[in-house]
Amino acid sequence: MLAGIGSLDMRSEQIRHLKHLVTGGWVEVGVIASSSSLPVIPPPGFYLFDRRVYLELPHGDLWLLSRSHAYDTYRKLFDVLAEHATFGAGVKTKLDELLERLQGN
């Protein structure tokens, strides 16, 4: 059984949406398997913008500006995580496998 937040229908729809994004070529999606042994602790969701970092936190959003020097830290963290991610055609395969497992529950 797959653990997750939300109903099986909701998670299935999210996976289908990701597949749509991957096949559309609008964004590059990387997937890190939950079984991966990472050399870092995965942070909360973050975005990198022009030397600024945007974090999504449970209590609210946070912008780290260029003077905080956080950009370099998060850029390195992103690069480490990307080394452990699957990109390209492999993502669609992983999402298909995950969707099949969800629908089998």
Do both 77 and 92 map to the same domain? no
Do both 53 and 74 map to the same domain? yes
Q: Answer yes or no: is 14 within a domain.
A: yes
Its pTM stands at 0.76
Do both 54 and 77 map to the same domain? yes
Domain encompassing residue 74: 40-84
Do both 91 and 80 map to the same domain? no
Residues with Cβ within 8 Å of residue 5, at least 6 apart in sequence: 11
Say what the pLDDT of residue 1 is.
43
Q: Answer yes or no: is 35 within a domain.
A: no
Say what the pLDDT of residue 3 is.
59
Q: Answer yes or no: is 99 within a domain.
A: yes
Nearest to 14 by CA among 105, 82, 102, 104: 102
HSE value, Cβ hemisphere, 13 Å, CA-based, for 61: 5
Do both 22 and 49 map to the same domain? no
Q: Answer yes or no: is 92 within a domain.
A: yes
* The two three-digit tokens of residue 8, written as one number: 């099986």
HSE value, Cβ hemisphere, 13 Å, CA-based, for 68: 12
DSSP codes, 32-57: --TT---SS---S-EEEETTEEEEEE
Q: Answer yes or no: is 3 within a domain.
A: yes
Q: Answer yes or no: is 101 within a domain.
A: yes
pLDDT band at 76 (very low <50, low <70, confident <90, very high): very high
- When divided into structural domains, the chain yields a total of 2
Interval 55-77 mean pLDDT: 90
Query: Does the CA dihedral 38-100-4-29 come out positive or negative?
Result: positive
Residues with Cβ within 8 Å of residue 73, at least 6 apart in sequence: none
Interval 76-99 mean pLDDT: 92
